[in-house]
Amino acid sequence: MCRLLGYLGPPIQLDYLLYKPEHSLIAQSYQPREMTAGLLNADGFGIGWYHPQRDTDPFTYKNTLPIWSDINLPQLSRYIESGCAIANVRSATPGQAVDLSNCQPFRHGKILGTHNGFIQNFRFSLYRPIRERLSETAYQRIEGTTDSEHIFALLTDELTAAGTLENALRETLKVLGELAKYHQTCVSANLLLSDGHKLVASRFATRAAVPSLYWLRDDPTFPNAVIIASEPLFAGSWNRCPEQSIISVGENLDIQIYQL
């Protein structure tokens, strides 16, 4: 399991998200409270963010070190400001390499995506079925070996036909559910996506325990903003996302929740 974090609101220094909260993503990497598998998130991390003034492709910073060991991140996160960012600390599935190509978030054009969950026995269950569904372009973009990147590749293909992140996510989860049932395996897929203007996330699993996911809007610490996170970052009016649902946060911070 991993821990996810997403922010949409006025531009802020990234250290206010990553370091300042009492139960920050840094703390969640070594002392998570609600993980259903694993004890630590020490197998690398990644942060993706969008420029606060220019309409450019997003930026990413990744490392295979535990996030608490990266000596550059505290300084970088004080320098970088963004109004839309997502982050991930990784707990690698046994057998998966701790490698930069396996660190999240993944990027496709202006889309950033990260995944918390797993496909049970991935290499022997849905590895080939997913790859056989992919377009040649999506297939060739895969650089690592994780189930997470294969799910993201599937989503980018669905996005071409679906048009919106919400529809693409819904179709991706539908496909995963059908494949899991046919191949008698299970899928856990909390996904967090952004195009720089919105956040879209899912809380989803088939037979497995559904990973935790929360959202918070207009907290005094982060006014006029929405945060989506695997675990609450601090005491506040956090809302637990319903199981088997998609949550969408628009540019004006309106929140829509769709039951799957």
* Residues known to be catalytic: 2
Exposed e or buried b for every residue in 154-172, given b needs 16+ CB within 10 A?
bbbbbbeebeebbebbbbb
Q: CB-based contacts of 20: which residues, under 8 Å, 6+ apart?
A: none
Can you tell me whether residue 35 is helix, strand or coil? coil
On the question of a cis peptide bond just before residue 223, with omega within 30 degrees of 0, the verdict is no
Nearest 5°: phi and psi at 58? -70, 165
Max CA pair span of the chain: 48
Can you tell me whether residue 156 is helix, strand or coil? helix
* Listed residue (166, 179, 168) closest to 132, CA to CA: 179
Q: CB-based contacts of 237: which residues, under 8 Å, 6+ apart?
A: 216, 219
Length of the chain, in residues: 260
Residue with tokens 């998200």: 17
